[in-house]
């Protein structure tokens, strides 16, 4: 059994951060060790507001120290990081990555570089974007940015697929093994579809899925994507198959959410598609 240390946000109600990632990864048969960077009543895009707090300085390090004390860090196969409550938490995460890689050199660091989207109500603390670009990126084995985050990581303005590929090449040249661009946005080929791109040793691969006409766009889709991609890799699928399965599972969750007229992701309703997705859209290799 593979084991993941998942360090990201947590909401009591709904699906975002660990609340969108832990159940799907467990549904694939992985053991997940969740550590919360923040604990909120609900995600921050509810118009009615939210309550909660970022975990205090030292919280992550203290929990990792506790796990080291019972000698389980060497059993960890991957660290997944997402939303940070502060830039200082990033330093604690990288310290955890170093300790785990020292105990298990085969362990992966999957960095979901959540930088916020103020127009949608998603805001990150000062210094987080700089931490992700300057400190986390050089350590990461896999990164999963959306288009805006890819621009920040590479210092580029990207308008088309060629620009996305060039930016991914830049990250790969810096030592990242795999780049999953979770949303191509304005660089997509077909605005009426949802498109993603995978860059890895095998090449560049493009995939799409339907867009659903939500009254309010669900939150946590990116967290689910990163979790499913890492989980599919760890259970033994090659990068392209993991990409296809992840796309299929997320599409099934979104379809169930849309059919239910819900705002929060319907993970439980679509759980069979997490473990055994029906792949209807194949990844296309780009020349």
- Domain residue extents for the chain: 3-286
> Mean pLDDT over residues 228-234, rounded?
98
The reply to whether 77 sits in an annotated binding site is: no
Confidence at residue 121, expressed as pLDDT on a 0 to 100 scale: 47
Distance CA 14, CA 130 (A): 29
144 is in an annotated binding site: yes
Q: Is 223 annotated as a binding residue?
A: yes
- Complete edge-to-edge strand list for the sheet that includes strand 52-54: 52-54, 31-40, 3-11, 78-81, 108-111, 142-143, 178-181, 193-200, 203-210, 284-285
Residue 44 marked ligand-binding? yes
Q: How confident is the model at residue 55 (pLDDT cuts 50, 70, 90)?
A: very high
272 is in an annotated binding site: no
Q: What is the pLDDT at residue 117?
A: 59
Please report where in the chains the tokens 């890819």 appear, as a residue. 150
Q: Phi and psi (nearest 5°) for 87?
A: -65, -30
How far is Cα 104 from Cα 28, in angstroms, rounded to an integer?
22
Class of domain 3-286: alpha beta
**Residue 208 annotated as binding?**
no
Q: Percentages helix, strand, coil for the chain, rounded to the nearest 5? A: 40, 20, 40
List pLDDT tens digits, range 118-131: 555 456 677 898 99
112 appears as a binding residue in the annotation = yes
Buried (b) or exposed (e) across 26-53, using 16+ Cβ within 10 A?
Answer: bbbebebbbbbbbbbebbbbbeeeeebe
CA end-to-end distance (rounded Å), the chain? 37
Q: Which residues does 104 contact at the CB level (< 8 Å), separation at least 6? A: 73, 74, 75, 76, 77
Phi, psi of 193 (to 5 degrees): -125, 160
User: 128-139 pLDDT, tens per residue?
Assistant: 989 999 999 999
Query: In what helix (H) or strand (E) does residue 119 lie, and over which residues does it extend?
Result: none
H/E element holding 40?
Answer: strand 31-40
Distance CA 220, CA 227 (A): 11
pLDDT of residue 166: 97
Residue 140 token pair: 């990461």
> According to the annotation, is 45 in a ligand binding site?
yes
Please give the average per-residue pLDDT across 44-65, as a whole number.
95
- Token code pair at residue 94: 């990288």
Share of the chain above pLDDT 70, in %: 97
pTM: 0.96
For residue range 125-178, what is the model confidence (pLDDT) as tens digits?
778 989 999 999 999 999 999 999 999 999 999 999 999 999 999 999 999 999
Give me the chain's average pLDDT, please.
Answer: 95
What pairing do the DSSP bridges indicate for beta strands 203-210 and 178-181? unpaired
Residue 75: pLDDT band (50, 70, 90) is very high
């Amino acid at each position: 059994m593979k084991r993941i240390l998942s360090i990201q946000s947590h909401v009591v109600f709904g699906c975002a951060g660990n609340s969108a990632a832990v159940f799907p990864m467990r549904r694939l048969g992985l053991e997940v060790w969740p550590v919360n960077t923040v604990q909120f009543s609900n995600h921050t895009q509810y118009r009615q507001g939210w309550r909660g707090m970022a975990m205090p300085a030292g919280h992550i390090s203290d929990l990792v120290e506790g796990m080291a004390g019972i000698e389980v860090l060497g059993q960890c196969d991957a660290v997944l990081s997402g939303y940070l409550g502060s830039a200082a938490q990033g330093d604690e995460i990288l310290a955890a990555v170093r300790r785990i890689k020292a105990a298990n050199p085969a362990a992966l660091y999957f960095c979901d570089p959540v930088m916020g989207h103020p127009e949608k109500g998603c805001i990150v603390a000062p210094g987080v974007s700089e931490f992700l670009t300057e400190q986390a990126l050089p350590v990461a084995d896999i990164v999963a940015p959306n288009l805006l985050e890819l621009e920040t990581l590479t210092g580029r303005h990207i308008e088309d697929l060629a620009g996305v590929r060039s930016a991914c090449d830049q990250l790969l040249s810096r030592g990242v093994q795999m780049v999953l661009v979770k949303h191509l946005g304005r660089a997509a080929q077909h605005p009426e579809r949802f498109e993603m791109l995978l860059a890895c040793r095998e090449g560049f691969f493009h995939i799409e899925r339907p867009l659903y006409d939500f009254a309010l766009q669900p939150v946590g889709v990116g967290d689910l994507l990163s979790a499913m991609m890492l989980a599919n890799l760890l259970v033994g699928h090659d990068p392209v198959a993991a990409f296809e399965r992840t796309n299929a599972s997320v599409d099934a969750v979104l379809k169930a959410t849309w059919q239910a007229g819900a705002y929060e992701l319907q993970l439980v309703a679509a759980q069979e598609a997490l473990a055994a997705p029906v792949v209807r859209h194949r990844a296309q290799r780009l020349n």
